[in-house]
Amino acid sequence: MDKYERIGRELVHKGAIIDYYEDTIRVPNGNIAKWDYIRHKGAAAVVAVKEDGKLLMVRQYRNALDRETLEIPAGGLNGADEPTEIAAARELEEETGYTAGKLELLLSLRTTVAFCDEKIDVYVATDLHRSSQHLDEDEYLDVVSYDVEELVRMIYGCKIQDGKTVSAVLAYYNKIRG
């Protein structure tokens, strides 16, 4: 045997954002292993570029870290089949109060491939127009803007650690530098 074979999957907990499973896997040497698996409905994120070239960012509290983080606007899909471009446009407006005249896919990323299938499509939003925020009842965030070079310094200074934000800002920075 030279391949992995899933021989069982048991739902341990169904959550609002994720479903947690315990998988039973036959590994190449024939042994049986128990592995954690988290199913995620997917997400979309936005590098929102203002007319002056600054990027819109959101500062918000994250329970898992018990602190505020600085991130690009992002959010989960309303369902696994929702187009990510639709979700990106929605999240941009909900979180920042801006709409985009143009959305262009920048990259797709998998956040934690060892145990989770979460996929985030990241879009660049340009031709921004002021609208209004539509935050969830339990959502409190500040919208701020930064020069991309300042954000890159914050990444390498370990002040921004969110994976989607690090990936998106560096990809955008490389794109505009040619």
The amino acid at 11: L
Query: Is-catalytic flag, 137?
Result: yes
Q: What one-character-per-residue DSSP string does 28-56 give?
A: TTS-EEEEEEEEE--EEEEEEE-TTSPEE
The amino acid at 161: Q
Q: Which one is catalytic: 137, 139, 149, 150?
A: 137
Q: For residue 165, what is the DSSP state? A: H
The SS3 assignment for 19 reads: strand
> In sequence order, which residues have a C-beta less than 8 Å from that of residue 178 and are 6 or more positions away?
none
Q: Which residues belong to the active site?
A: 137
